[in-house]
Amino acid sequence: MKAVFWFVFIALLNSTCVFGQTLKAGLWRGALIRQDGHQVVFNFDLRYEKKQPVIYIINAEERLEVRQVSIQKDSVFIEMPFFESSFACQLQSDGSLSGKWIKKTSGKNVVWPFMAVPGNSPRFPAPNPPTQQLNGRWAVTFVDTSGVSKPALAEFQQKGNRLSGSIMRPDGDYRYLDGVVNGDSLYLSTFDGSHAYLFTAKITDANTISGGMFYAGARNREQFSAVKNEKAELSMASVAMSLKPGEESLDFRFPDLNGQMVGIGDERFRNKVVVIQLMGSWCPNCMDETRFLSEYYKNNKQRGVEMIALAYEYSTNTERSVNSLRKFEQKFSVDYPILITGVTSSDSLKTEKTLPQLTPIKSFPSTIFVGKDGKVKKVHGGFFGPATGIEYTKYKQEFEETVKSLLLQ
């Protein structure tokens, strides 16, 4: 009986020690563990604002705010602001977290083991001075497991050991990559609630990166290499879209997030330049584009510009789609209508079911520009966001030039 008493007493004591703890404020280092054992690491800053924990996930210049953090005894639940993504963790006696990251998809949920430790631990250790400087533009080649090569571009910024930047493929960019150059090796990672990526490679010389591995998601991987080339360009032919022969305008009508039917032929859009955003709440690049479009709309709607977002979600469940899209609408103060097409992003007939006047939709986000006469003037596939630097600047300039020319017609 005495042995049982002491066992229960010690168990309660340990439980009290854990329950009495709280999440430590300050910097943390998190790690998502892939099936092959590789870790996608990232840092976050945990603060208390009005006595409530708030997390800021750090990817280079980005600080992704996460306010839905709840603590119940030794359990910690973190709901990401986008992408139907969350963490379920247990607070350990040493103050660390252990648990899992859950992300909903069009099929089964993706579940990764997760751990995080408080303290000023670097994203990647870099004890060795860099052998080369990687600043500038690089032509990148990815090779998938079947041997197919895919072109890409990289823009890197290096300060000492610190390395940041982004990698662009025709359908979009990998957003904010953050890492180091350690001697002759580079390490980059990103996590935003959807993207969970790790890049490793050797730096052969000042103009060559070799032996690269790109770890994407829980199990996918690709090889990559890169050559420095300040004049490198990326063909966008693989994401190009256009009107079908004989077509001039679009004809659609879908419910908005309040269930009200909205169509391109409504009075609100007549004699206006209309920008149509093809997007999904599951899409990280759509987050960046929505931030840009929402701000642009607020500053330019008085010029005769209107916008519409057409959402292609993971599910045809309206309630699920509304809940996810509301986060975008509220976070970026979207004043233009977001319409639910009711067709999933993976549906092979999504174009025929929603915008049959167009050739197939190849990437999200994509943008359609409609003139004041109601006719489609331009279709732009893909999007390069703020992490790409000069490419984002070029995108914004091209966007404004297109809108300005249409307003003058």
Residues 113 and 153 in one domain: no
pLDDT of residue 22: 85
Radius of gyration of the chain (CA): 24
**Is 91 domain-assigned?**
yes
**Is 403 domain-assigned?**
yes
**Is 259 domain-assigned?**
yes
Burial tier of 56 (Cβ tally within 10 Å: 0-12, 13-18, 19+): middle
* List of residues 6+ apart from 258 with CB closer than 8 A: none
Residues 251 and 208 in one domain: no
Q: Under a CB-based contact definition with an 8 Å cutoff, are residues 275 and 293 in contact?
A: yes
**Is 125 domain-assigned?**
no
Q: How far apart are alpha carbons 327 and 317 in whole angstroms? A: 16
**Is 1 domain-assigned?**
no
pLDDT of residue 20: 52
Could you tell me how far CA 60 lies from the centroid of its own chain?
14
CATH code assigned at 381: 3.40.30.10
pLDDT of residue 3: 46
Residue where a domain stops, chosen among 194, 228, 262: 228
Cα–Cα distance list, 377 to 242, 331, 384, 396 (Å)? 10, 30, 21, 18
pLDDT of residue 269: 98
Q: How many domains does the chain have?
A: 3
- Domain holding 143, by residue range, is 136-228
Residues 244 and 214 in one domain: no
Which residues in the chain land under pLDDT 50?
1-19
**Is 124 domain-assigned?**
no
Residues 304 and 373 in one domain: yes
Residue where a domain stops, chosen among 199, 228, 257: 228
Residues 96 and 221 in one domain: no
pTM attached to this predicted model? 0.93
pLDDT tens per residue, range 370-387: 999 999 999 999 999 999
- In terms of residues, how long is the chain? 409
Residues 193 and 245 in one domain: no
Mean pLDDT of the chain: 94
Which structure tokens are listed for 300? 């330019």
CATH code assigned at 30: 2.40.160.90
Cα–Cα distance list, 403 to 3, 218, 285, 344, 394 (Å)? 79, 41, 21, 29, 14
Nearest to 146 by CA among 40, 82, 221: 221
Q: Look up residue 69 and give its DSSP letter.
A: E
pLDDT of residue 15: 38
Cα dihedral sign for 28, 29, 35, 37?
A: negative
CATH code assigned at 164: 2.40.128.120
Residue where a domain stops, chosen among 183, 207, 228: 228
Nearest to 388 by CA among 176, 133, 209, 141: 176
Residues 44 and 94 in one domain: yes
Return the bridge partners of 44, or none. Answer: 28, 57
Residues 215 and 89 in one domain: no
What percent helix, strand, coil does the chain show, rounded to 5?
20, 45, 35
Residues 365 and 269 in one domain: yes
**Is 130 domain-assigned?**
no
pLDDT of residue 19: 47
pLDDT of residue 126: 97
